[in-house]
A and B are shown apart, each in its own frame.
Chain A
Amino acid sequence: MSVWLTGAVVVLTLVAAVVLVVALVRDEPAQDRTFALLAVTEVVLVVQLVVGCVLLAGTERDVDGVLFVSYLVGVTLALPVGVFWSLAERTRAGTAVLLVAVLTVVALQLRLEVIWSGRA
């Protein structure tokens, strides 16, 4: 997998996680810039989906293709669903949902790396 893409996703999501924890502690709803940050992350995730599929097609590694692609698709869904679900309630609960969505992306990135390395 592209180290640059995974790195970008992890950095973006960790920054978002910190911003969301601060919002949670201050009991403020998530700001527009936070949503913009999540949107940028989502764009990178979609790029990762495309690049991941291309790399999978050309690799000699022993990667479980079905598993790999299902994780790539799954990781692109976490943020949109989380944002949608959080917008109905712009309180601490909504912010917490965003935080869970962001952490889900981080966890899935780690799994993706393991699957790509063929150790899954």
Chain B
Amino acid sequence: MRDASLSSGPGRVLVFVYGVFAVAATGRSLVQLGTEADRAPVAYTLSLVAAVIYLVATTCLLRGGVRAWRVAVVACTVELVGVLAVGTLSYVDTALFPDRTVWSHFGQGYAFLPLVLPFLGLAWLRATRPTAG
């Protein structure tokens, strides 16, 4: 069943922002892993994880429906935990993160949007909670 409500109204803006981040994070992590993987394997792998999360969230919002909604909740929650964990770690253990990634320093390199996005995502999912089930 296709439910357009997840990607209309505020959801339309959210899909676009998530899409931009999906492309940005995927591109960045692939370039980093492809050219200098040895420099910071942990940071770059987490970059790739972030990229996958953004891709999943974008896809779920686009698809709509109950199952996509549930997966989107999981993706946004993982995203929130991820940005908080990596953000904190990047301040505590600088050796682990010698290079900037999407989530390090709470997304400072991306105007802190990576920190704000999961909250917006979860708020939107809360507003569009499926009524049945």
Contact = CB atoms under 8 A, between A and B. Distances in A.
A104 B111 CA distance: 11
Interface stretch (B6-14, B37-45, B86-94): B6-14
A55 to B, nearest CB: 20
Contacts of B23: 74
Contact of A70 (B11, B12, B17, B31): B31
Given A70-B27, A107-B111, A100 B20 contact: yes
Interface string A54-77: 000000000000110010001000
Given A74-B23, A93-B10, A85 B16 contact: yes
7 contacts: A66-B35, A67-B31, A81-B19, A85-B16, A89-B12, A91-B9, A93-B9
B23 to A, nearest CB: 7
A97 B13 contact: yes
B15 interface: yes
A89 B20 CA distance: 19
B10 A74 contact: no
Contacts of B16: 81-82, 85, 97, 100-101
Interface of A: 66-67, 70, 74, 78, 81-82, 85-86, 88-89, 91, 93-94, 96-97, 100-101, 104, 107
Contacts of B12: 85-86, 88-89, 93-94, 96-97
Contacts of B31: 66-67, 70
A100 B113 CA distance: 12
A9 to B, nearest CB: 17
Contact of B15 (A66, A78, A85, A91): A85
Give me the 7 closest cross-chain CB pairs, A-B, nearest first.
A93-B12, A96-B13, A97-B16, A93-B9, A104-B20, A100-B16, A89-B12
Given A74-B23, A78-B20, A89-B8, A100 B35 contact: no
A57 B41 CA distance: 31
